[in-house]
Amino acid sequence: MNDATLLDKTVFITGASGGIGSEIARRCAARGANLALFARRLDKLQTLKEELEKDHPGKIKVYQLDVSETDQIKEVFTKALDDFNGIDVLVNNAGYGVFRYAHDATIEDIKGMFSVNVVGLIYCTRMVLPVMRKQKHGHIINIASQAGKIATPKSSIYSASKHAVIGYSNALRMELADLNVYVTAVNPGPIETNFFDIADKEGTYVMNVKKYMLKPEFVAEKVVNAMLKPKREINLPWWMNTGSYLYVLFPRLFEKVGKKAFNKK
């Protein structure tokens, strides 16, 4: 590729074993980056590593990690930072959702989503911040969601967790503004991945929105194109993000008009 922005740069990616995580890894490798890949499924990471090493010369290492376990994050990230002697980009991609009405949400759902989507993301970031602050460069990319901007029925807990990610990203961006460390929040709509195997076990939501679903390759390309550039947010698709602006301006009208669509989960 002509873009040499990532050549010899070190990129850490959580949730790298599938979906947009693995697609981001493929595109980073193609641009000459060194990769630290994290996920719970070590076998999938090993398969991805072998695939990437066939065509790309960059250093690639894989690490088994459950981001809901903060002790694991500390141990594994410390090792990875030592293995690569630093970091240039962190992609906080690990996350999941369960679509249920608020009164049906179990405490396991609530704790699980916040442990992974919020606390895990924050702690992964906490592990790399001292390095980025010291070297005065870097990029933190947090995969949030359009659900963090427009909450809908059956996504109360998931939306709340993604609201938190956007809020954290906004505050962190201001903290790091004078240190040449960028913070980007990525807010995609529904993506055609195995995310919905857990989130929508009945398949109702997928059936209703399938024609609008984003391809993981498309989202990954947008993310990688923005690496090491001062991009505040990536919002996909554009028309859905337009809805988020209308929601801020006319919340009651938006909820009334969109009620039928919002209840399709």
Q: What single letter denotes the amino acid at residue 181?
A: V
State yes or no: is 158 an active-site residue: yes
Q: What single letter denotes the amino acid at residue 247?
A: Y
How many Cα atoms within 13 Å fall on the side-chain side of residue 222? 21
Instruction: Give CA–CA dist 183/175, Å, rounded.
Output: 10
Within the chain, how many helices (H) and strands (E) appear?
12, 7
Rg (CA), the chain: 18
Expressed in angstroms, the distance from the first to the final Cα of the chain is 40
CA 145 vs CA 70, 162, 200, 205: distances in Å = 23, 6, 16, 16
107 pairs with which residues across the strands? none
DSSP state at residue 188: E
Which of 63, 123, 158, 205 is catalytic? The answer is 158
Instruction: Give CA–CA dist 163/115, Å, rounded.
Output: 14
Give the H/E segment covering residue 259: helix 259-262
Query: In 3-state terms, the chain is what percent helix, strand and coil (to 5)?
Result: 55, 15, 30
- DSSP labels, 221-236: HHHHHTTTS---EEEE
DSSP state at residue 213: P
User: Would you please indicate which residues are annotated as catalytic (active-site) residues?
Assistant: 158
